[in-house]
Structure 1
């Protein structure tokens, strides 16, 4: 049995736990300004949360934008969702949490009738997403001061 569980973050406590992981990873570790990390999409996105089975400690999070919310990130492509804000706490890295969160977001996307998922990957994470079936497209671009590439996986 896996030492962690991934679920949709449906309660306010779940969402706050996910936000705490994002703060730890993006704001503290990577230096992303807090005002860039949290946005209006957080209220309409579907969030997923990974927690340690033993005690419920939050280990990672991610979100899915779809419909009108995803249009700007996916080039307006019909039926394509946008995976974003994927973060895994330093203590949980290497346990498979990130891959499980990506698969959970994909499951949510399928459940909403989407046919593909796009994401904007930090360039150092391209290999991680490629191993999960994502393909990079388009030029490198800056986001929050870090180089990124757009990627897509057909579901």
Structure 2
């Protein structure tokens, strides 16, 4: 759940080219402009097969955060990557909102794709070392 006083927002699966571009724009702003990672490392070969989740303000639909989910070719786990929230919205704990949305998507996807009998789905996280604590404190959903 987002922190009290968070602005009105919604989380959607980015399905249109415009929504996916909004996810890329947030990632470029956070990882390239703010954190100085090389631009060429931000968009990779996984973009077309990944599920992109977009967090945006309502009713304006202003994009403010994103997270990406990959399912490798062997399909026995999911990978959480590229969580990014614009700096001015980080104080609202909306990163947790995005992680919970990714978990909900994984559950639904696993049920739809022949994993209906499984008791759980494995999710691994790819993150920078300084933010490992963010994921560790809420690792079980």
TM exceeds 0.5?
yes
- Please point out which of 22, 26, 29 is paired with 2:31: 26
1:129 equivalenced with 2:135 (yes/no): yes
CA distance in 1, matches of 2:137, 2:12: 22
Cα RMSD for the two superposed structures: 1.8
Partners of 2:122 and 2:69 lie apart in 1 by 12
Number of aligned residue pairs: give it.
127
- The structure with the greater share of residues assigned to strand is 1
Partners of 1:54 and 1:90 in 2: how far apart? Answer: 20
What is the SS of the residue equivalent to 2:61?
A: coil
| Shift, 1:2, TM fit | 5.8
Cross-structure match for 2:19:
14
Q: Which moved more, 1:17-26 or 1:112-121?
A: 112-121
Gaps of 5+ in 2: 1-5, 111-119
TM-score by length of 2: 0.83
| TM-score, length basis structure 1 | 0.76
In structure 1, the gaps of 5 or more residues are: 72-77, 134-152
Matches within 5 A, 1:5-154: 5-68=10-73, 79-113=76-110, 115-133=121-139
For 1:5-32, what per-residue CA distance to the aligned partner results, in whole angstroms no more than 9, with x for missing partners?
1111111111011111000000001111
Stretches of 4+ moved more than 2 A in 1? none
C-alpha contact 2:32 2:38 (8 A) present in aligned 1: yes
Distance in 2 (CA, whole Å) between partners of 1:89 and 1:12 is: 20
- How far residue 79 of structure 1 moved from its aligned partner, in angstroms, is 2.6
8 A Cα contact 1:59 1:97, kept in partner: no
- Contact 1:50–1:101 (CA under 8 A) maintained in structure 2: yes
